[in-house]
Structure formats: structure tokens, C-alpha cells
Structure 1
Amino acid sequence: MPVINKAGVMTRPWSRRAVLCSTGTGIVLLSGCASFGSEQSTNSPIAPVSVEEIASVKCPPSGDDDATVCSQTVEADAASVYLLPTPTVGETPDSLELTFTNASGADLTFNPYSWSVWRKSASGWSEIEQESSGGGELTVAAGNSETWTVETVVGYIDESAALHSGAYAAGINVPNPDGDDWITCLAVFGLR
């Protein structure tokens, strides 16, 4: 039955169907908001990374048949080649350096742009997709070292990639000074 309000406009009273439909829509909208809020909370930033936490992280698998030397387990006094981060945990990618050391008796020539970088998550290691690559040659003489910032290394792979708080690993392949194969040198580091 139509109702006339104070303004003289005829309105229709709410039917039971309209009330139920409005209530149902409200519940769906509210439940959507509640789930949206919980989804956001699961994607919250990772807690700051400590030196102790990084020390317990294992290197990612290098994914090939090359020998692997990992910063987490290398004995620098005994290894012929290795890659170490300095410091182990930094504030920004440009505050961390990766130093390749050739402690062997042979000069080593390799492509200094052929890096791989991985990010550690709860489900394991995932490699940052390579968007660009460069070619070149760098010779590191016997007993010498070469240093790059993490920011430079990531730029070789993908200039638009952003590293956030968490654990990472970087790797580069170099000739094995004791054979005809190659060695993958890996360094694990963290960003706060």
C-alpha cells in the first residue's frame, strides 16, 4: 500500500524481499572488507633481518652441474675462489658489497654481467627474473679480488627490480682454476 510522506511524495513501503536483499548485500560487502583486511595483513612487510638469521640461511641450489662455493660454508683460507658479502646485512642494496676473491694461482676470466639473484621466502628460494643481460670479460688476476655493490648486480639483471627487507643470495659463475669446468660462487646477505 503506497504511503505519502511529508513532502507529498508517494513512496512504497519496504517489502520483505527488499529488506532481505539489502541485508544480504550488506553482509556480502562487509565480509569482502573483512577478507580484504586479512589479505593485506598476510602481505605485511617482513620483519627486519639480523646477522644471526642470515648466518642460519642455506644457499639456494645453483641449478646446474657446476661446483658451488657458498659464503655460508666456505673456508676462505682453503678455498681457491669465493664470494663474500660485506656487511652481511645492510640497510639498502647500495650499502652492501659482493667481493669475489681469486685465491688461486691462475688468472680467471669470466663475464662480470652474468649474475643470478634469489630471494628467500617461507616457501623457499625464488630467482629474480632476468630482464637484461650483458656481455663482457673481466680478468681477476691470481691473488686479487673484484667488488660490486648489490645495487649494481641487481641492475645487471633488471634495472627496475626493487629489493625489500629479507634474505637474498647472489651468484656468479667463474672458471674452476683446478679443472676445465666452472664454479658457481654464491653469497647470502640480508636487507633490513
Structure 2
Amino acid sequence: MTRPWSRRAVLCSAGTGIALLSGCTSFASEPSTDPTATPVSAEKIANFGCPPSGNGNATVCSQTVETDTASVYLLPTPTVADAPDSLELTLTNESGTDLSFNPYSWSVWKKSGSSWSQIEQKSSGGGKLTVAAGDSEKWTVETVVGYINESTTLDSGAYSAAINVPNPDGDDWITCLAVFGLR
């Protein structure tokens, strides 16, 4: 004769069944709404608005700058790369004025969802670099990140890097900002 189920056995079986069913529903693939969960593309970056730069300076963004008319700008090459050491940031001075600034004063931001968060700055350097009128200067993203935080490793996603330079058309400063992606 079979023994009737005890209340404990029924509850245990029901709990196990619910746990299994709820686990199975998590296997369904739903599209992610987090833009950093999917690979970033040059097209996606071109559609971003200008990210924050953390200061009150005028900002020149790589994905919106008109290079034919801008006096100074920062561009990533390529826009999306596999590793930080394969992506260069080029500051171009198209003005008629030499620009002298601290080449170690970078800030780097990561896009998470709809917001940007700044990568913690643990170090800073002092120095002076002059980019002559009509000239340019290049850094790798890996070098720039090392200037602010040597222990930071960039994973895949969208980022921005910014550096402040004197405004060749005035007495204030301009934040040159490059938006780029890593696969």
C-alpha cells in the first residue's frame, strides 16, 4: 500500500518545482536595454550626445565637431577598437596660436546605461606641453588611463576622454572630449 504524501513532502516538492520553473524562465533571452551590454559601434557612438566633462568650460566633442571650422579638437582613431593600446587620441590645433597645457590632466568617463561615471583619479602629473599652431599631438588610450589610475582596466563599452586646453580664441579654456568604444 502506498503511503499518502505528508504535508512536508508536498511543500518540499512544490517549492522545488517553483524553484525549477523560475530558474527556467530566466533562460529566455530578452534584448538588453543596457547599451554597454551589447558591443559598441562607431554608428552608436556617433549618435551619443556630448558627455559631461566635469567642469564649466566650453566643450568640443569628437562625434559632433566640425573639423573644417574648429580651432582645436580631439579625435579617437579608430572610433572603436579591441584594446586601449590600439586606440589613439589625437589633439589637433588648427588655430594660429600655440597651445600650452598640462598633458597629464586627463579625465576618463564610462557610459553605463543612460549616464556617464568618471573613472577614479588616483594620480596626476604636472608638466607642460606646447602644441604648435597647425600641429597635433597623439596619446594611446592606455597611456591616458595610466596617467590617472594605473590600476584601472577598461573593459568593453563606451568611454570618453577629456583634456583641457587654452581657448585660442579667448582667455578661458576648452575641454576637448573624445568618445570611443572598446569591444
Q: Deviations over 1:86-125 (max 9, x none)?
A: 0000000011000000000011100000000000011400
Give TM-score scaled by structure 1 length.
0.78
Matched, 1:111 2:102: yes
Alignment-mate amino acid for residue 57 of structure 2: D
Alignment-mate amino acid for residue 40 of structure 2: V
Poorly superposed stretches of 4+, deviation over 4 Å: none
2:38 aligned residue: 47
Deviation at 1:187, TM superposition (A): 0.5
2-structure distance, mates of 1:90, 1:59: 20
Unaligned runs of 5+ residues in structure 1 are 1-15
Deviation at 1:46, TM superposition (A): 2.2
Aligned length: 177
Q: Secondary structure at the match of 1:53?
A: helix
1-structure distance, mates of 2:174, 2:164: 6
Percent identity at matched positions? 71
Alignment partner of 1:80 out of 54, 67, 71? 71
Alignment partner of 1:137 out of 122, 125, 128? 128
Q: Is this contact kept in 2: 1:166–1:191, CA < 8 A?
A: yes
Q: Secondary structure at the match of 2:142?
A: helix
Q: Secondary structure at the match of 1:156?
A: helix
Matched, 1:158 2:144: no
Supply the RMSD in Å over aligned alpha carbons.
Answer: 2.7
1:186 aligned residue: 177
Alignment-mate amino acid for residue 128 of structure 2: E
Deviation at 1:53, TM superposition (A): 1.0
Q: Is this contact kept in 2: 1:67–1:184, CA < 8 A?
A: yes
Q: Secondary structure at the match of 1:48?
A: coil
Structure of higher CA gyration radius: 1
Unaligned runs of 5+ residues in structure 2 are 1-5
1:13 aligned residue: none
2-structure distance, mates of 1:139, 1:111: 9
Q: Is this contact kept in 2: 1:102–1:142, CA < 8 A?
A: yes
1-structure distance, mates of 2:137, 2:49: 24
1-structure distance, mates of 2:100, 2:115: 32
2-structure distance, mates of 1:61, 1:164: 20
